[in-house]
């Protein structure tokens, strides 16, 4: 999916849960398409429903309140590094997206892939 990119390179993914809750200018993708689209170094933004996270979104004036970075895409399932109380952890793309309110995710892509070994 190469069309529909905004000036910031953000994309919205909401299709796999069927909520259709994306901003109108952003394309909707299913989980499989999102998995093909992401590359190591890409950043995924989500919204966690728990109160402390909702307060972060309210204070920052954004729908998003959580972030993860694609750190591996060698196998069929992209792996995301994220902070999670009390420590950081690795999650599959499906696990990460499933925790986002309404299945909504925004993807920020790197303009160029990171140098080999730096991801």
Cα radius of gyration (the chain):
14
Q: Residue 97, preceding bond cis, omega within 30 degrees?
A: no
Q: Is residue 7 part of a domain?
A: no
Q: Is residue 5 part of a domain?
A: no
What CATH number does residue 30 fall under? 3.90.1720.10
Mean pLDDT (the chain, rounded): 77
Domain containing residue 90: 17-108
The answer on pLDDT for 61 being more than 60 is yes
Q: For the chain, what is the domain count?
A: 1
Q: pTM of the entire structure?
A: 0.73
Q: Is residue 42 part of a domain?
A: yes
Q: Is residue 67 part of a domain?
A: yes
Which has the higher per-residue pLDDT, 29 or 26? Answer: 29
Q: Is residue 12 part of a domain?
A: no
Count of other CB atoms within 10 angstroms of residue 74: 8
């Amino acid at each position: 999916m190469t069309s529909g990119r905004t000036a910031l390179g953000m994309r919205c993914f909401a299709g796999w849960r069927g909520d259709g809750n994306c901003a109108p200018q952003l394309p909707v993708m299913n989980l499989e398409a999102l998995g093909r689209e992401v590359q190591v170094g890409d950043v995924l933004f989500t919204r966690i429903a728990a109160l402390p996270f909702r307060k972060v979104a309210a204070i920052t004036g954004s729908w998003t309140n959580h972030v993860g970075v694609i750190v591996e895409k060698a196998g069929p399932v992209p792996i995301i590094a994220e902070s999670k109380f009390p420590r950081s952890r690795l999650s599959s793309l499906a696990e990460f997206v499933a925790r986002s309110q309404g299945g909504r995710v925004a993807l920020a892509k790197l303009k160029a892939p990171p140098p080999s070994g730096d991801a």
